[in-house]
Amino acid sequence: MAVLNKIRQRSLFLILIIALALFSFVLSGLFQNGSALSNKSQNVVATINGKEISREDFLRKVEFAQRQMGQGVTNTQAMNRVWEQEVRQAVLESQYKPLGFSVERDQMRDLLRTNLSNSPEFQNEAGLFDENKLNEYIASLKATSAEAYQQWVDYEQSIAESGMQQDYVNMVKAGVNGTLAEGKVEHDLENNKVDIKYVQVPFSSIVDSTITVSKSEISSYINDHKKEFEVEASRDINYVEFREIASLEDEKEISAGLTNLLNNSVVYNDVTKANDTVLGFANAKDVESFVNSNSDIKYDNRFVFKSALPKVLADNLYDKTPGAVYGPYKDNGFFKLSKLVEETFMPDSVKARHILIPFIGSRAATAETVQTKAEAKKTADSVMAIVKANPSKFVDVLDLSVDKVSNEKEGVLDWFTYNAMVPEFRDYAFGNRKGDVGVVKTDFGYHVVEILDQTDKEKAVKIATIARQIEPSDATVDKVFRDASKFEIAVADKDFQAVSKENNYTVRPVKGIEILQENIPGLSNQRQIVRWTFNEETNVGDVKRFNIPGGYAIVQLAAKNKAGLMTTDNASAIVVPKIRKEKKAEIIKDRVKATTLDALASEENQSIRTASALNMKNPTISGAGREPRIVGAAFGLKEGETSKLLVGDNGVYMVEVTKVTPATELDNYQAFANRVGQQKANAVNTKLYQALKDASEIEDNRAETVQ
């Protein structure tokens, strides 16, 4: 009872404790992954100028884009494409929506007509766009497939957006023009001219190694130019590759295997209980079967001219007698063994004409084809007899041919080379003589062929080649696995660089990997590695093995770079040359005492050079390169006046103006004003969107919502 009284007395205290416990429970739930506080970031891919892009809608578009883009396109590539489309749409929407831009029904129909007018499924019998067919198509989609209909809605939306974007861009263009005053400035920039004499003391006259740049100087430069060095969060890695590449022993074994195929071998026959002699490659009668049974590349049953042969065969087999063998030799990732099978003399190209008679089931058959194979052969033989008896009758029987293209040229197939035709047609045309007429059967049907002309004949050869791909043996693959495993274990508690050096492994560093990056230099598409580096559980110094095509990569996370300003180490390659140039300029200015060109040239062992007709539109100095600050300074001098020391992009200068030629005054500057207006209009196309994007508020959550 006493206990109950104490509880009652302290009821307010207990209520507070229970409330705090409940509150902490709720907070802990909120801060867990997938909690209420993070639901928005988990379900919203981006917020652009207040417009949210949902994860579900974004991924649906990515999936559709990947199908549209075809095989070989990665998910990341499709995602980046959709991202750019969504950002562009949202950025421009924020501009033209307040202006009341919209696409009404009539304009939408015009846009669809423009985009679909060449699609056969929406054309009538006259080949014109038929809106009724479009309406039927949309109704069919809506009735049969919700997914397909949604894709159509997305397509319509994209067309509407494109229409509004174009209207907006055109409106902005209509608001820009060039005034007469701007036209005069344009004219003067081009046509005000100065001639100068100058001395350049190039920065290269001071050796880079004599100029030291400290980290604090790099840091100060970065802080003074923050906009240039703002970066996203990134990661740096080191990696060592272990490639499954054939060893020298593997190559020797492959080569020896080909050599063993060359000669006859004796094999015991379990059926006859006697030894059989198996013919080798050198003596094989059925060369095609032998090659196809022993080669990684199938037999190529073609004649080849010397000019088309690989150099190694042109030099070692072309002039030999049939039966000669060359190899094994190494060629393009294979060991090969080649044999000269046959030689002939044939033309380089042939001119012929034909009549193609199809049969049911042939590739040239049409809906009107009714002849069987035997009937088509009989027709072809009859046509051949007519043509042989009187070649002038060839054109009279062309109506029997289904080759409408050649029919327009009286059946003529103009000059063609050996490999341009199907094998049966090719063999007849190149294996017979000018004037011959014959029947040839191909997959297309029966051809009545007349050889009209041939070039001079030259020697061609048929070569059989057994090819074995050079690839690592199982023993080599196992060794690569063991080496990778040993290295992975060794660097787990030792210095990555030191262990690599001990084993003569090359360490490849990669800096600045961003969270949505896909390719890693040297390793190609390795999204798995990028994900690992950005995993919260991965710490700097951690090492992991990854499977890569043809081997392994042992990867170390070398650094985590936060979003903000680039680190001094990463920026040094950009900043050091700039600071070094500034220091060189100060050194040159401090040591120079000269006040005339002659004195400066003598003092710095440089020459006095000239440049004529300089203008502000193209501030390039002959012999020195593009130097806008120096040219600008020259225009500020009077004729005969000499400048003080001037710092340019490529050195320190002293300039003397020898002649000033003012631009000719014009009665009217409209032509130049028009040019300025056109330049502004072109800038709208190239710079408007980027300027709007830079000014937009874009919250990118892809890294958290889409991996």
Distance between the two ends of the chain, CA-based, in angstroms?
61
- pLDDT-derived band at 706 (thresholds 50, 70, 90) equals low
- Give the model confidence (pLDDT) of 301-355 as tens digits: 889 999 889 999 999 999 999 999 999 999 999 999 999 999 999 999 999 999 9
Task: Check: CB of residue 611 under 8 Å from CB of residue 632.
Answer: no
- Give the model confidence (pLDDT) of 371-393 as tens digits: 999 999 999 999 999 999 998 89
- For residue 699, the model assigns a pLDDT of 86
Q: What is the distance, to the nearest Å, from the Cα of residue 65 to the centroid of all Cα atoms in its chain?
A: 17
- pLDDT-derived band at 707 (thresholds 50, 70, 90) equals low
Strand (E) or helix (H) holding 296:
none
- pLDDT-derived band at 157 (thresholds 50, 70, 90) equals confident
Instruction: Show the DSSP H helices in 558-618 as ranges.
Output: 568-591, 597-604
- For residue 208, the model assigns a pLDDT of 94
- Give the model confidence (pLDDT) of 407-429 as tens digits: 889 999 989 988 888 989 999 99
- For residue 41, the model assigns a pLDDT of 55
User: What average pLDDT does the structure give for the chain?
Assistant: 87
Distance CA 177, CA 680 (A): 7
The structure tokens listed for 24 are 């902490």
Cα–Cα distances (Å) from 644 to 427, 469, 612, 652, in that order, read 83, 70, 20, 10
- Give the model confidence (pLDDT) of 181-235 as tens digits: 999 999 999 999 999 999 999 999 999 999 999 999 999 999 999 989 988 899 9
User: Within 10 Å of residue 33's Cβ, how many Cβ atoms?
Assistant: 6
- pLDDT-derived band at 465 (thresholds 50, 70, 90) equals very high
114-121 long-range contacts (CB < 8 A, ≥24 apart) are: 115/159
- Give the model confidence (pLDDT) of 42-72 as tens digits: 688 889 888 888 888 888 888 888 887 877 7
Burial state string for 593-631 with b = 16 or more CB within 10 A and e = fewer than 16: eeeebeebbeebebeebebeebbbeebebeebeebeebb
Instruction: Show the DSSP H helices in 70-130 as ranges.
Output: 75-96, 105-116
Task: Check: CB of residue 234 under 8 Å from CB of residue 569.
Answer: no
Burial state string for 302-335 with b = 16 or more CB within 10 A and e = fewer than 16: ebbbeeebbeebbebbbeeeeebbbbbbebeebb
Closest to 515 measured CA to CA, from 361, 705, 686: 705
Lowest mean pLDDT among 9-23, 74-88, 456-470, 487-501: 9-23
- For residue 40, the model assigns a pLDDT of 52
- pLDDT-derived band at 31 (thresholds 50, 70, 90) equals very low
Distance CA 24, CA 29 (A): 9
- pLDDT-derived band at 23 (thresholds 50, 70, 90) equals very low
Lowest mean pLDDT among 29-38, 215-224, 247-256, 669-678: 29-38
- For residue 30, the model assigns a pLDDT of 37
Distance CA 655, CA 662 (A): 19
Phi, psi of 519 (to 5 degrees): -100, 140
Instruction: Work out the average pLDDT over 504-532.
Output: 90
- Give the model confidence (pLDDT) of 265-307 as tens digits: 777 777 777 777 778 899 998 999 999 999 999 999 889 999 8
Say which amino acid occupies 692.
L
Instruction: Work out the average pLDDT over 596-606.
Output: 95
Distance CA 92, CA 90 (A): 6
DSSP string, 193-259: EEEEEEEEEEGGGS-GGG----HHHHHHHHHHTGGGGEE--EEEEEEEEEE----HHHHHHHHHHHH
Residue 602, pLDDT > 90, answer: yes
Distance CA 222, CA 443 (A): 71
- For residue 636, the model assigns a pLDDT of 95
3-state secondary structure 364-411: CCCCCCCCCHHHHHHHHHHHHHHHHHCHHHCHHHHHHCCCHHHHCCCC
- pLDDT-derived band at 644 (thresholds 50, 70, 90) equals very high
> Per the omega criterion (within 30 degrees of 0), is the bond before 391 cis?
no
Strand (E) or helix (H) holding 623:
none
What is the percent of the chain where pLDDT is above 70? Answer: 93
- For residue 133, the model assigns a pLDDT of 83
Task: Check: CB of residue 488 under 8 Å from CB of residue 499.
Answer: no
- Give the model confidence (pLDDT) of 83-98 as tens digits: 888 888 888 888 877 8
Residue with tokens 């801060």: 31
Burial state string for 82-119 with b = 16 or more CB within 10 A and e = fewer than 16: bbeebbbbbbbbbbbeeeebebeeeeeeebbeeebeee
- For residue 700, the model assigns a pLDDT of 84
- Widest CA span in the chain: 133
Residue 608, pLDDT > 70, answer: yes
- Give the model confidence (pLDDT) of 665-683 as tens digits: 999 999 999 999 999 999 9
